[in-house]
């Protein structure tokens, strides 16, 4: 492998100054704007988590009052879900990579893309305003009638922030769909697309179909709270359970907005570090679409104890079990890809392996929750908390960090410190499991979520969890530091430091503003690691 | 090829105006799908409460002014016609005609909103705004509030979409006036038309659901 020099002109030095960034229409620069945004809100959300774990280190509620505690877990959830997890992979990695991977010069609507970042920041500003003016205590789920008639906290600005941010999600999804349909390079057929693209396509469908339902639901809540309209208020014959249906119609698929792009990242990483095409490519591709479709049919498994009919519960239970099939297809196919692969254990691969293990645990415990009887036993306990953190933190954040490391040389043109990165990946893995595995046990033993005090017999497991959280916190700070450090002091990256295949590795690191010196023409299949041309290139 | 490349409206990342037009059209259709889901949420809410409280909904519906609603339906459908004519004129490159039809579309939209405003004012004076001041026959006092909440929310969101449409028309008018819209590049007018027709169609559903329910019984 030659150490190709950084090209004289690339997207990072094509214009300087604040204006060249804030008014850019280059999808790569917009991706970096998003990177700054989501990183900031990740640490804000993380700060709330620190306070939660600090409070729970002792059984008595001694650090914060119960009301403050309600606000802490609410704002942790709101920040993490809406301002980090949902935009993180699509808006940062997806924004950067979707056009490059399909051989396009940019997304179909560059101005809309920039607008989506401003909309995201505006929404974040509203929600941040809610936080600093007294906070929000409804839980991230905004359940009525508490959110509409009882809560005295800043429901309206927070809800407005989420409403606004939803539009950035819709615009990103719309942009991806049109781009993937219309802007593929000559020869880039649907079944030559990287699986990252398939998963982003599926994600975009959910963003476009689900987010507007959340938008209208939030508007109904706001109208009920502000104008005393009656939609969900039992006082006029309204039904709070209807709110839950509408809310989860979006918010369950939203989980797949978080995990599907992560699965796309993992497919890329596994192929690159096993030197093999992903096993059963069409199955993995269609599994993404299957998850997107099935994801819309399972929402009421969040409501088994909300008073829905037993028949509805049974149907939603069966449908929820079905989601396990495409998810398992992916896990099996990644594992089969590794079989007899030439596996190298570099940092992104460590994250990928971590993802597969943690996602499997998160997914299997999801089956517990799809079973109505078992779900009733563990509803609103720490079992649920542990389950969704295995999916969202163990799944999405592991994949996000893995992807960030894998494409960092492409994004920045620099290599990071491999040793530090490996250590950090291990620290994160250990810290994560120590934080959340005890919560499965706590939940099964009956510790309810959303209380700031608990019986003393739960303390040992809670202290373990809090200790794990501090390790996890260190693990998250490390990449932040060495990646930033590498921007200035890292070794220069070649065009293809991993010897991987894919159009993004066929252009310079960092890429030129138009992505490629010459418009590419694709004549090879996806993950063509066996072909002589590729072997020679590596 | 080269003369097409030189077209000032061609963005740098597209190879041809045709490709650019296809992308823009697909984008608008995807956006309209999101709109269907957006209104779908409130239509579902409507369907559930109407099936629960049919008598209250019929009684509350009688308070709406069918005459004004019917006039508004006609006005809005006519505005869709003038919009379609504007698109047609744009395809032929008839600049003046485009502007005339756009202005007509906006004028009809303005009439619609004006009539809607009159209706809202009547509801206000008749104490039919949901909340503490709401007055209605005792039997349906509670459930009629749900009807009127839905009424104001649905027609309000529809009106908001029309106001946004107004903004779009103004931009189109400006572009037509300064000559951006040509026979080769008329897709902005075309996709604006898609949006306007969608807003029209929403009303076609709203009108019977809100104004005409329970009429056959009387």
pLDDT digits (tens, 9 = 90+) for B147-169: 999 999 999 999 999 999 999 99
Average pLDDT over residues A6-11: 84
Which residues from A are below 8 Å from B13, CB to CB?
104-106, 108, 110, 183, 514
* Range from A104-108, A147-151, A239-243 carrying the lowest mean pLDDT: A147-151
What is the rounded (10 degree) CA torsion for A212, A216, A219, A225?
-140
At residue A532 the predicted structure's pLDDT band, cuts being 50, 70 and 90, is low
Shortest alpha-carbon distance between residue B195 and chain A (Å): 15
Structure confidence by residue, pLDDT tens digits, A392-435: 999 999 999 999 999 999 999 999 999 999 999 999 999 999 99
Average pLDDT over residues B3-20: 81
Average pLDDT over residues A352-362: 97
Which chain B residue shows the shortest CA-CA distance from A225?
B131
Which residues from A are below 8 Å from B130, CB to CB?
227-230, 236
- pLDDT of A259 reads 97
The Cα–Cα gap between A474 and A420 comes to 13
B1 inside domain: no
Residue B3: count of CB within 10 angstroms of its CB: 6
- pLDDT of B157 reads 98
B101 inside domain: yes
B11 inside domain: no
Pick from A108, A183, A230: CB nearest B149: A230
Shortest alpha-carbon distance between residue B88 and chain A (Å): 25
Q: Is A3 exposed, middle or buried (0-12, 13-18, 19+ CB in 10 A)?
A: exposed
Pick from B13, B30, B45: CB nearest A242: B45
Which residues from B are below 8 Å from A227, CB to CB?
130-131
Pick from A182, A236, A246: CB nearest B143: A236
Pick from A216, A230, A235: CB nearest B41: A216
Reply yes or no on whether the pLDDT at B1 is more than 50.
no
CB B169 within 8 A of CB B193: no
Reply yes or no on whether the pLDDT at A51 is more than 80.
yes
Query: Are A178 and B132 in contact (CB < 8 Å)?
Result: no
Query: Are B11 and A104 in contact (CB < 8 Å)?
Result: no
- pLDDT of A481 reads 96
Shortest alpha-carbon distance between residue B161 and chain A (Å): 14
Pick from A215, A223, A238: CB nearest B38: A215
CB A524 within 8 A of CB A533: yes
For A37, B20, B74, B89, B179, the CA distances from B192, given in Å and listed in that order, are 32, 15, 20, 14, 17
CB B55 within 8 A of CB B131: no
- Provide the number of structural domains found in chain B: 1
Global pTM reads 0.95
Reply yes or no on whether the pLDDT at A538 is more than 50.
no
Reply yes or no on whether the pLDDT at A90 is more than 60.
yes
Residue A535: count of CB within 10 angstroms of its CB: 12
B188 inside domain: yes
Shortest alpha-carbon distance between residue B186 and chain A (Å): 17
The Cα–Cα gap between A118 and A323 comes to 34
Reply yes or no on whether the pLDDT at B42 is more than 60.
yes
Which residues from A are below 8 Å from B27, CB to CB?
108-109, 174-175, 178
Pick from B12, B30, B152: CB nearest A105: B12
Tokens of A48: 């709330």
Interface test with B, best of A231, A312, A514 (most B CBs within 10 A): A231
Structure confidence by residue, pLDDT tens digits, A430-487: 999 999 999 999 999 999 999 999 999 999 999 999 999 999 999 999 999 999 999 9
The candidate with the shortest Cα–Cα distance to A355, out of A457, A265, A415, is A265
What angle (nearest 5°) sits at the alpha carbon of residue A358, between those of residues A357 and A361?
Answer: 90
Query: Are A227 and B132 in contact (CB < 8 Å)?
Result: no
- pLDDT of A140 reads 95
Shortest alpha-carbon distance between residue B70 and chain A (Å): 26
Reply yes or no on whether the pLDDT at A5 is more than 90.
no
Which residues from B are below 8 Å from A105, CB to CB?
12-13
Shortest alpha-carbon distance between residue A236 and chain B (Å): 4
Q: What is the CATH number of the domain that holds B104?
A: 1.20.120.80
At residue A283 the predicted structure's pLDDT band, cuts being 50, 70 and 90, is very high
B12 inside domain: no
At residue A533 the predicted structure's pLDDT band, cuts being 50, 70 and 90, is low
Average pLDDT over residues B66-94: 97
Average pLDDT over residues B91-107: 96
Reply yes or no on whether the pLDDT at B88 is more than 90.
yes
Percent of chain A beyond pLDDT 70?
Answer: 98
Q: Is A448 on the interface with B (CB under 8 A)?
A: no
**Domains of chain A: residue spans and CATH:** 18-537 (1.20.210.10)
Query: Are A231 and B152 in contact (CB < 8 Å)?
Result: no
CB B66 within 8 A of CB B89: no
Query: Are A106 and B12 in contact (CB < 8 Å)?
Result: yes
Q: What is the CA radius of gyration of chain A?
A: 23
Shortest alpha-carbon distance between residue A235 and chain B (Å): 8
Percent of chain A beyond pLDDT 90?
Answer: 94
B177 inside domain: yes
Structure confidence by residue, pLDDT tens digits, A173-188: 999 999 999 999 999 9
Reply yes or no on whether the pLDDT at B217 is more than 60.
no
Query: Are A178 and B157 in contact (CB < 8 Å)?
Result: no
Which residues from B are below 8 Å from A216, CB to CB?
38-39, 41-42
Query: Are A213 and B41 in contact (CB < 8 Å)?
Result: yes
B6 inside domain: no
Q: Is A109 on the interface with B (CB under 8 A)?
A: yes
CB A387 within 8 A of CB A367: no
**A20: Cβ–Cβ under 8 A, 6 or more apart, which residues?**
A14
Reply yes or no on whether the pLDDT at A360 is more than 50.
yes
Query: Are B153 and A220 in contact (CB < 8 Å)?
Result: yes
Reply yes or no on whether the pLDDT at A1 is more than 60.
no
The Cα–Cα gap between A57 and A462 comes to 6
Q: Report H helices in chain B.
A: 2-5, 17-52, 54-61, 66-92, 95-125, 141-178, 187-211
Structure confidence by residue, pLDDT tens digits, A492-522: 999 999 999 999 999 999 999 999 999 999 9
What is the rounded (10 degree) CA torsion for B2, B4, B9, B14?
-80
Q: What is the mean pLDDT of chain A?
A: 95
Q: List the domain range (segments joined by +) for residue B61.
A: 17-217
């Amino acid at each position: 492998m030659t150490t190709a020099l950084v090209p004289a002109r690339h997207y990072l030095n094509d214009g300087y100054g604040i204006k060249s960034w804030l008014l850019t229409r280059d999808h790569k620069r917009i991706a970096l704007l998003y990177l700054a945004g989501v990183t900031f809100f990740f640490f804000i959300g993380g700060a709330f988590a620190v306070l939660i774990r600090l409070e729970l280190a002792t059984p008595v509620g001694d650090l914060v009052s119960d009301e403050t505690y309600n606000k802490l877990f609410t704002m942790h959830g709101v920040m993490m879900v809406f301002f980090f997890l949902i935009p993180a992979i699509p808006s940062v990695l997806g924004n950067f990579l979707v056009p490059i991977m399909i051989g396009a010069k940019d997304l179909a609507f560059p101005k809309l893309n920039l607008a989506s970042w401003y909309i995201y920041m505006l929404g974040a500003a509203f929600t941040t305003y809610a936080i600093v003016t007294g906070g929000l205590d409804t839980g991230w789920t905004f359940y009525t009638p508490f959110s509409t008639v009882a809560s005295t906290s800043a429901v309206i600005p927070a809800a407005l922030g989420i409403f606004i941010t939803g539009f950035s999600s819709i615009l990103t999804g719309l942009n991806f769909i049109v781009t993937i349909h219309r802007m593929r390079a000559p020869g880039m057929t649907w079944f030559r697309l990287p699986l990252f693209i398939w998963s982003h396509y599926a994600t975009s469908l959910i963003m476009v179909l689900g987010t507007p339902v959340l938008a209208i639901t939030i508007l109904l809540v706001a109208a009920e709270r502000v104008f005393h309209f009656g939609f969900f208020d039992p006082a006029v014959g309204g039904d709070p359970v209807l709110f839950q249906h509408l809310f989860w119609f979006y918010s369950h698929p939203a989980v797949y907005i978080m995990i599907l792009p992560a699965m796309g990242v993992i497919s890329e990483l596994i192929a690159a570090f096993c030197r093999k095409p992903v096993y059963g490519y069409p199955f993995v591709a269609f599994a993404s679409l299957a998850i997107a479709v099935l994801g819309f049919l399972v929402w009421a498994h969040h409501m088994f104890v909300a008073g829905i009919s037993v028949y509805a519960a049974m149907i939603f239970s069966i449908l929820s079990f079905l989601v396990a099939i495409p998810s398992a297809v992916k896990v099996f196919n990644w594992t089969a890809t590794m079989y007899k692969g030439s596996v190298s254990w570099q940092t992104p691969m460590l994250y990928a392996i971590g993802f597969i293990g943690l996602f499997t645990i998160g997914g299997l415990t999801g089956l517990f929750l799809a079973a109505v009887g078992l779900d009733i036993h563990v509803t609103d306990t720490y079992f649920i908390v542990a389950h969704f953190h295995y999916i969202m933190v163990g799944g999405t954040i592991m994949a996000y960090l893995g992807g960030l490391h894998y494409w960092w040389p492409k994004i920045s043109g620099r290599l990071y410190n491999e040793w530090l990165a490996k250590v950090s990946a291990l620290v994160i893995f250990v810290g994560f499991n120590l934080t959340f595995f005890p919560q499965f046990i706590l939940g099964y033993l009956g510790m309810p979520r959303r209380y700031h005090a608990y019986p003393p017999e739960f303390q040992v497991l809670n202290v373990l969890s809090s200790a794990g959280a501090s390790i996890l916190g260190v693990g998250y700070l490390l990449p932040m530091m060495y990646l930033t450090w590498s921007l200035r002091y890292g070794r220069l990256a070649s065009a293809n430091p991993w010897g991987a295949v894919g159009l993004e590795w066929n252009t310079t690191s960092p890429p030129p503003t138009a992505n490629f010196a010459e418009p590419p023409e694709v004549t090879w299949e996806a993950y063509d690691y066996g072909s002589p041309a590729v072997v020679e290139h590596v | 090829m080269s003369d097409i490349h030189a077209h000032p409206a061609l963005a740098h990342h597209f190879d041809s105006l045709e490709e650019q037009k296809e992308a823009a059209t697909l984008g608008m259709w995807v956006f309209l799908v999101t709109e269907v889901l957006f209104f779908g949420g409130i239509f579902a809410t409507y369907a559930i409460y109407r099936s629960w409280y049919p008598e209250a909904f019929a009684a509350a519906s009688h308070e709406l002014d069918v005459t004004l609603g019917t006039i508004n339906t006609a006005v809005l459908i006519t505005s869709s016609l003038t919009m379609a004519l504007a698109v047609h004129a744009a395809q032929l490159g008839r600049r003046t005609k485009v502007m005339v039809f756009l202005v007509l579309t906006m004028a009809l939209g303005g009439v619609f909103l004006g009539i809607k405003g009159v209706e809202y004012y009547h509801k206000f004076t008749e104490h039919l705004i949901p909340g503490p001041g709401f007055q209605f026959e005792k039997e349906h006092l509670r459930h009629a509030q749900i009807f009127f909440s839905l009424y104001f929310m649905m027609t309000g969101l529809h009106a908001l979409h029309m106001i946004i449409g107004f903004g779009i028309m103004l931009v189109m008018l400006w572009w037509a006036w300064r000559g951006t819209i040509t026979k080769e590049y008329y897709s902005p007018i075309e996709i604006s038309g898609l949006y306007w027709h969608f807003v029209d169609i929403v009303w076609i559903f709203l009108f019977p659901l809100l104004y005409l329910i329970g009429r056959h019984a009387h």
